């Protein structure tokens, strides 16, 4: 069982929590119907993500076997055969299609929610195939796509619940995503993984650091603008919302500190390895929940 959990990359399901972002910030977290849609959407996206992880491992099998840690992945280590991996991947893809059809049939999704979510899922799958096969070796585009995969999750969360998302919030997510994508490449450069990641030959630490600083700054600016623009009426709530910027600055700074350590720069590895980062994020969520829902 453990090898299949590794194959599905269960730890990385944490990324899919971004699906709940539109629901949370729109003040609809207590709406039962929207909650059901978001939870089902989360499960669907997790299944989709696992199929893509398997596909990526199949494409990268030769490179993974040269990598100091990735060589221990189930497919690269031959713990799971290529045939079995392909079979599981195809099954997961059909499972996603089946769930989408059932959601429409039982009227859990409205037609427009079904249509737009299907387009988003298809786009996510196709972009990941293009990334795994070709685009991950194209400088700059690889970083933009890594960031877009996070943004798509937020967009998907908005589509399945019919929630309109603030432009400033989108820009905040995009900036933070670009920062994390650059951080990942920063970690890979420090570990000198050029033999397993061909695109690294185009990057230097100076280049990566420069743009990490740009997107770190823009993330704080965009989030601050979202705080100001999201509440137009002058009351106590707007001042309480402004205090959340302190949480965001601390979380970003803590994340930056972690990137400087000897690690791969993978966001999930960083989050799981830093308890202070996890606690501060939970405190931020609790604080925001208090403002929005109380």
* Interval 198-241: pLDDT, tens: 899 999 999 999 999 999 999 999 999 998 887 654 455 667 88
Average pLDDT rounded to a whole number, residues 4-24? 95
Lowest mean pLDDT among 2-16, 143-157, 175-189, 256-270: 256-270
Residue pair 247/283 in contact (Cβ under 8 Å)? The answer is yes
| Per-residue DSSP letter, 20 | G
The pLDDT tens digits for 71-93 are 899 999 999 999 999 999 999 99
Among 162, 163, 156, 147, which Cα is nearest to 120's?
Answer: 156
- Indicate the pTM of the whole model: 0.94
| Rounded to 5°, angle at Cα 173 from 169 and 176 | 135
> How many other β-carbons are positioned within 10 Å of the β-carbon of residue 90?
12
Q: Answer whether residue 268 shows pLDDT above 90.
A: yes
Class for the domain spanning 1-138+148-163: mainly alpha
Q: Answer whether residue 2 shows pLDDT above 90.
A: no
Considering the chain, what is the average pLDDT of its residues? 92
- Distance of alpha carbon 32 from alpha carbon 44, whole angstroms: 18
Cα 181 to chain center, whole Å? 10
Give the number of C-alpha atoms closer than 13 A to the C-alpha of residue 259, restricted to the C-beta side.
26
| Per-residue DSSP letter, 204 | -
- Distance of alpha carbon 135 from alpha carbon 130, whole angstroms: 6
Q: Answer whether residue 258 shows pLDDT above 70.
A: yes
Q: Give pLDDT, residue 234.
A: 46
Rounded (10°) angle between helices 236-259 and 205-230: 170
> How many other β-carbons are positioned within 10 Å of the β-carbon of residue 116?
18
Q: Which single residue is written with the structure tokens 């990735």?
A: 70
Lowest mean pLDDT among 34-48, 51-65, 189-203, 227-241: 227-241
């Amino acid at each position: 069982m453990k090898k299949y959990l590794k194959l599905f990359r269960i730890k990385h399901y944490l990324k899919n929590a971004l699906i709940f972002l539109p629901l949370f910030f729109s003040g609809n977290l207590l709406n039962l119907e929207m909650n059901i849609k978001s939870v089902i959407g989360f499960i669907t996206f997790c299944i989709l993500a696992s199929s893509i992880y398997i596909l990526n491992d199949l494409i990268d099998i030769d490179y993974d076997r040269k990598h100091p840690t990735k060589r221990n992945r189930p497919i690269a280590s031959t713990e799971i055969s290529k045939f079995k991996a392909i079979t599981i991947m195809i099954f997961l893809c059909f499972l996603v299609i089946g769930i989408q059809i059932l959601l429409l049939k039982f009227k859990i999704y409205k037609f427009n929610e079904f249509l737009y979510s299907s387009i988003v899922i298809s786009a996510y799958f196709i972009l990941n195939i293009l990334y795994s096969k070709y685009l991950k070796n194209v400088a700059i585009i690889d970083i933009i796509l890594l960031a877009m995969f996070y943004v798509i999750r937020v967009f998907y969360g908005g589509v399945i619940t019919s929630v309109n998302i603030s432009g400033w919030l989108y820009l905040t997510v995009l900036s933070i995503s670009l920062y994390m994508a650059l951080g990942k490449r920063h970690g890979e450069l420090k570990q000198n993984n050029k033999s397993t990641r061909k695109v690294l030959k185009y990057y230097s630490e100076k280049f990566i650091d420069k743009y990490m600083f740009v997107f770190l700054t823009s993330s704080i600016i965009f989030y601050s603008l979202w705080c100001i623009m999201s509440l137009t009426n002058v009351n106590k709530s707007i001042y309480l919302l402004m205090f959340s910027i302190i949480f965001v600055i601390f979380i970003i700074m803590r994340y930056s500190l972690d990137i400087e350590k000897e690690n791969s720069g993978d966001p999930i590895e960083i989050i799981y390895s830093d308890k202070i980062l996890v606690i501060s994020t939970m405190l931020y969520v609790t604080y925001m929940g208090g403002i929005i829902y109380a």
